Amino acid sequence: MSNTYTWDIPNIEYAPTEGDLTNVAKVVHYRYTAVSDQVNAEGNPYSATAYGSIGLDAPEAGSFTDFNSLTKDQVVAWVLAKLDMDEATLQAALDQRIEAEINPPVISGLPSGW
């Protein structure tokens, strides 16, 4: 099984001013998706997504980056730091979820004779 991974940052909330700073990022909304090269019975690839929102710490004037100068890599690093994990750990968690979809550890149903 081979998975591909994609970060999506659909929105960042920011304050127009905070103290002497302007355009201060406050909250990051994120999605990290793994898509398998294996497909289900309908022909769709298996996938798993981690998503959420993280509040950012108050900025320090010496290391502050204006909202309009943020890079995706910088924001992803903030998300991972707030989640207290590295990208490999997040990938492993999504891989496990996809594996459980492909090979469910528990299946529900009723006996065929009912």
- CB atoms under 10 Å from CB of 73, counted, come to 9
- With respect to residue 113, please indicate whether it lies within any of the assigned structural domains: no
pLDDT in tens, 6-64: 999 999 999 999 999 999 999 999 999 999 999 999 999 999 999 999 999 999 888 89
Adjacency order of strands within the sheet including 21-39: 3-18, 21-39, 45-55
Residue 96 belongs to domain spanning: 3-102
* DSSP β-bridge partners for residue 51: 31
- With respect to residue 108, please indicate whether it lies within any of the assigned structural domains: no
Sequence-separated (6 or more) residues with CB below 8 Å from residue 105: none
Backbone angles phi, psi at 69, to 5 degrees: -105, 0
pLDDT at residue 60 in the model: 86
- With respect to residue 76, please indicate whether it lies within any of the assigned structural domains: yes
| pTM listed for this prediction | 0.88
SS3 42: coil
pLDDT at residue 61 in the model: 82
Domain count, the chain: 1
- With respect to residue 68, please indicate whether it lies within any of the assigned structural domains: yes
pLDDT at residue 75 in the model: 98
pLDDT in tens, 50-107: 999 999 999 988 889 999 999 999 999 999 999 999 999 999 999 999 999 999 999 9
Does 1 have pLDDT greater than 80?
Answer: no
